[in-house]
């Protein structure tokens, strides 16, 4: 197995996971900073040109996993790989953030949904989107429809 290592840590306004908005309609407008280790700063060259980034990170406060779980957006259980549950066999998180500005090895971003101190494994540019009309959203769309009735 190749070495997976943190490249930095998230500076977030959320000090407890319970403070993070969850579920449908949860708005992720919180601003935070991706504090990249200075030794990796050169790897951020030209990142300013991108409006959005993928952040791959670790659910470092979570222990264990659950293959089935009932998400806050539904009252029925679903498989962990069909949800964003933190209780995953590999406790990896993925968040799309908007890049506000870069300050050396610090990336100021909007849309953090991680707790303060979260280890960052990787950052990638967000290059393209699947058109909305091509997306099917399974149980989530069904749960939203049930709720709107």
> By the criterion CB under 8 A, which residues form the site for a copy of itself?
1-7, 36, 40, 42-52, 54, 56, 58-60, 62-63, 67-68, 77-84, 88-92, 94, 96, 119, 121-132, 134-142
Could you tell me the smallest distance in angstroms from the CB atom of residue 30 to a copy of itself? 17
Could you tell me the smallest distance in angstroms from the CB atom of residue 3 to a copy of itself? 8
What tokens appear for 94 in the block? 């993925």
Could you tell me the smallest distance in angstroms from the CB atom of residue 103 to a copy of itself? 15
Question: Which residue has 């990142």 as its token pair?
Answer: 47
Any residues with CB less than 8 A from the CB of 11 and at least 6 apart, and which? 32, 33, 34, 35, 116
- 10 Å Cβ neighbour count for 96? 14
């Amino acid at each position: 197995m190749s070495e997976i290592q943190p490249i930095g840590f998230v500076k977030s306004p959320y000090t407890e996971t319970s403070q993070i908005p969850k579920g449908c309609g949860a708005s992720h407008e919180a601003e935070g900073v991706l504090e990249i280790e200075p030794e990796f700063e050169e790897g951020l060259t030209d990142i300013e040109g991108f409006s959005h980034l993928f952040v791959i990170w670790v659910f470092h406060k979570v222990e264990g996993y659950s293959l089935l779980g009932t998400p806050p957006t539904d009252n029925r259980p679903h498989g962990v790989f069909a949800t964003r549950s933190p209780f995953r066999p590999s406790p990896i998180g993925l968040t799309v953030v908007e890049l506000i500005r870069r300050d050396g090895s610090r990336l100021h971003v909007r849309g953090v949904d991680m707790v303060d101190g979260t280890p960052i494994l990787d950052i990638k540019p967000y290059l393209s989107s699947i058109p909305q009309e091509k997306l099917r959203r399974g149980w989530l769309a069904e749960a939203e429809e049930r709720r709107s009735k």
